[in-house]
Amino acid sequence: MRLVGDIGGTNARFAWIDDKGDPQSPMTLPVREYATIGDAMRDFMTRTDCRDLREFAVAVACPAMADTIKFTNNPWVFSKDALNAEFGLDRLVVVNDFTGLAMSVPYLGDEDLITLFDGPGRPGLPLAVIGAGTGLGVSGLLPHDGHWIPVQGEGGHVTLPAVDDLDYEIVKFLTAELGRVSAERILSGMGIENLYRALAAIDGVDVTPLTAAEVVDRAMTQNDPLCLKVLDRFCLFMGGVAGDLVLTLGAFDGVFIGGGIGPRIADYMKQSGLKDRMIAKGRFHDLMNDVPVRLMTAKYPALIGCAKILSA
């Protein structure tokens, strides 16, 4: 049997691959309930009544180049060689989580995407992939001889770009706490919490800390002014980082936004300043304005991507 996995900061997702190379019987397991990735794998195998594991492709929310895999936002650590030996695998493939996500993009249907901002794009050029969840993932797809080559990097940890006065105030506040403010410190679940505290402090308002889910809920259901300000600034920062990614990769055929936060605020993103900030790139404004932006809503896109990697 062939297994695929997607391990983030909060959840571990697994599925078997059928003969057509598609994920089957997907299951989400909370990372906190297992001491190791091997324990989670064995539980999934027991629950799905299969023990004949021969190949495994897994997307991990951390750098994936070395033998030792140490997750950025969860406590798991494993060795590729040791995991391979533990399960007697014929093949083990470990990629960054957004490499797996990026590889799903060519296989998504219209039902898996929401167009936030349309545009003609530039067919045949690269695609940019970015998404906020527990952390911030960044990747891209480069076309080559009828195939796609995914970019495997750690773009979520680039320095956060500040554009206007309020951006600079936010970065100044968080720098005093963190020492360095990466894009992930804003564009993630913990980032929304950071933004809430920063904006409250800048406005001179005493607040009780809220979780990211509480901030989003208050903004969307109660029109809370501070929480709405958090979402507004979140979208602006997302636009700035996405625009820089487009320019860096030459990804003028489109931006795909993944991660768990986007689908919760899709309507808000459409009317936000995300697109304006994304295309505000000086002499490249008109070129950037043609780049479409789509939100990924597929439930298990990284599992699809890993399945295609394993079946290649």
**Binding positions for ATP:** 5-10
Annotated binding site: 5-10
Task: Give the Cα separation of 30 and 8 in Å (integer).
Answer: 10
Pairing of strands 255-258, 147-150: unpaired
CA angle, residues 118, 123, 129, in degrees to nearest 5: 65
The single-letter code of the amino acid at 232 is: D
Q: Report how far residue 11's alpha carbon sits from residue 28's, in angstroms, rounded to the nearest whole number.
A: 6
Show the tokens assigned to 64: 């994936």
Kindly state the tokens that stand for 126: 């690269």
Q: Which residues contact 146 (CB under 8 A, 6 or more apart)?
A: none
Neighbours of 186 (CB within 10 A): 27
